[in-house]
A and B are shown apart, each in its own frame.
Chain A
Amino acid sequence: MFCEKAMELVRELHRAPEGQLPAFNDGLRQVLEEMKALYEQNQSDVNEAKSGGRGDLIPTIKFRHCSLLRNRRCTVAYLYDRLLRIRALRWEYGSVLPNALRFHMSAEEMEWFNHYKKSLATYMRSLGGDEGLDITQDMKPPKSLYIEVRCLKDYGEFEVDDGTSVLLKKNSQHFLPRWKCEQLIRQGILEHVLS
């Protein structure tokens, strides 16, 4: 049956939990090849139907056409869903993605990600007068300027605004400015401790 490869792609993505980006599936090439073959067969059958008066070919043509439409829908949905996940990466990870994730993206997706980053940065700069506003911060409503954090793994030296630095060793606890820690907490290096 046609469109099986396309369905395989869709199912793989459908199974992946929200936020996860599986490696770019090269099976997409096979789908496109199948589409090309279907299209060419249909072209020749359509010509034969028109010139040779073979109306009996019409169900076959219709069938291939349905498969082409189905393949198209699956491919577009696959690519679009991946883009949505990649967009979410900017908000979750920040502008620099870990290497492992970057290997999961195709070259075009990487390019899209860079364009998106740029658009977002331009927009953020345009807010709040001269300084701009980082809207990827404070994703949860802040209650205080400083927060208590516990270190979940060894990170090393961490510089605070007034020049002093803190050693982030596993299980050490610190009282630090919220805006400095947010990124590290989101990355799982620190833990926000509620008092």
Chain B
Amino acid sequence: RFIFLFRNNTLKLVFLLFYKWRHYLRLSSIVGKDLVLSHTGKQETCCPYLIGLSFIFPCRPFLFQDPIKGSKLELPLWLAKGLFDNKRRILSVELPKIYQEGWRTVFSADANVVDLHKMGPHFYGFGSQLLHFDSPENADISQSLLQTFIGRFRRIMDSSQNAYNEDTSALVARLDEMERGLFQTGQKGLNDFQGWEKGQASQITASSLVQNYKKRKFTDMED
């Protein structure tokens, strides 16, 4: 019995590591983390922060030369995450408006009306990363993220399964990146099924690479 437990846990660990590794390398995860977060720069000691960085190669003056204690700055998420610690010695983070109470109420009223693409195209991803900053509102934020998704999911699923061979730009306009990915997956399933029904499943087709390459070659020639 103990051997089984051990093997189970090792499998789980391997799976977790694999998943983490894939996430580390996935381009979309990296792009998501480049989003900017505005926060308050605070330091408990009296020294200026980030000394001398403006003189670093390649000699581009850095955004903030010696920011004063207590000043507000906008930093990318990856940087904020790296500099943050529990004791808030370097900085503390202010939640973007869309994750605060006001907007959370809007989402709970009707999640479908909100334009999540405009609100920051990586609403769910960014929101999940925000939980790192130990805000007292974390429990509410995670609930809000989850409930918002649940509220919107049905419509995304239905529309992706019913829009065949038509212009879907209106349907995806107000979706965030994660939802768009879901929509695309749904569309692919629909298209594959329709193709199978038409007997196209056994039809050999030109590879998509070839088609894309030919398109590019044509535009190159036009230049």
Interface on A for B, CB 8 Å cutoff? 1, 3, 7, 10-11, 13-14, 17-20, 33-34, 37-38, 41, 55-57, 59-60, 62-67, 69-70, 73-74, 76-77, 80-81, 88-89, 92-93, 98, 100-101, 139-143, 147, 178, 181-182, 185-188, 191-192, 194
What A residues does B169 contact at CB under 8 A? none
A60-B51 in contact given A1-B62, A20-B212, A77-B26 (Cβ < 8 Å): yes
- Residues in B whose Cβ lies below 8 Å from that of A188: 206-207, 210-211, 214
Query: Per a CB cutoff under 8 Å, which of A38, A92, A147 touches B209?
Result: A92
Residue B106, interface by CB 8 Å: no
**Which residues of chain A have C-beta atoms less than 8 A from B76's C-beta?**
1
Task: Tell me, yes or no, whether B218 is within 8 Å of chain A by CB.
Answer: no
A66 touches B82 (CB 8 A): yes
Q: Assess the B206–A186 pair: CB atoms within 8 A.
A: yes
Cβ of A38: which chain B residues have Cβ within 8 Å of it?
A: 56
Contact among A60, A67, A77, A141 for B201, CB-based, below 8 A: A141
Residues of B55-95 contacting chain A, CB below 8 A: 56-58, 62-63, 76, 78-79, 82-83, 89-90
Q: Which chain B residues lie closer than 8 Å to A74 at the CB level?
A: 30
B113 at interface, CB cutoff 8 A:
no
CB of B209 within 8 A of CB of A19, answer yes
Chain B nearest CB from A191 CB (Å) reads 8
Interface pair A140/B79, CB less than 8 Å apart: no
**Nearest chain-A residue to B75 (Cβ)?**
A1
B residues apposed to A, CB below 8 Å: 24-28, 30-31, 34, 43, 45, 47-53, 56-58, 62-63, 76, 78-79, 82-83, 89-90, 199-214, 216-217
**Which residues of the other chain, A, contact B202 by a CB distance below 8 angstroms?**
140-143
Question: A56 to B62, Cβ gap below 8 A?
Answer: no
Flag if A186 contacts B210 (CB, 8 Å).
yes
* B50:A63 contact, CB within 8 angstroms: yes
| Given A1-B62, A66-B79, A80-B25, also A93-B209 (CB < 8 A) | yes
Q: Which residue of A lies closest to B59 (CB)?
A: A37
Give the CA-CA distance A70 to B49 in the complex, in Å.
Answer: 21
Q: Taking chain A's interface residues, is the majority helix, strand, or loop, or is none over half, making it mixed?
A: helix
- Minimum CB–CB distance from B19 to chain A (whole Å) comes to 15
B90 CB to nearest chain A CB (Å): 5
A-B contact pairs, 26 of them (CB 8 A): A10-B27, A20-B213, A34-B57, A38-B56, A57-B51, A59-B49, A59-B50, A60-B52, A63-B79, A63-B82, A69-B82, A74-B30, A77-B24, A77-B25, A88-B209, A93-B207, A93-B209, A140-B201, A140-B203, A178-B204, A185-B204, A187-B206, A187-B207, A188-B206, A191-B206, A192-B204
Which one of B30, B53, B209 contacts A63 once the chains associate, using CB atoms below 8 Å? Answer: B53
> How many angstroms between the C-alpha atoms of A187 and B210 in the bound complex?
6
Contact A59 B31 (CB under 8 A): no
Residue of B nearest to A101 (CB): B213
Q: Which residues of B contact A76 (CB under 8 A)?
A: 24-25
Apart from A63-B50, A93-B210, list 5 A-B contacts with CB within 8 A: A7-B30, A56-B48, A60-B53, A66-B82, A194-B200
Q: Nearest Cβ distance between residue A156 and chain B, in whole angstroms? A: 19
Which residues of chain A have C-beta atoms less than 8 A from B207's C-beta?
Answer: 19, 92-93, 186-188
Closest Cβ neighbor of A21 among chain B residues: B209
Which B residues are CB-close (under 8 A) to A143?
Answer: 202
A117 to chain B, nearest CB (A): 16
Closest Cβ of chain A to B208, distance in Å, is: 5
Contact at A62–B82, with CB atoms within 8 Å? Answer: yes
Q: Is the CB of B204 within 8 A of A140?
A: yes
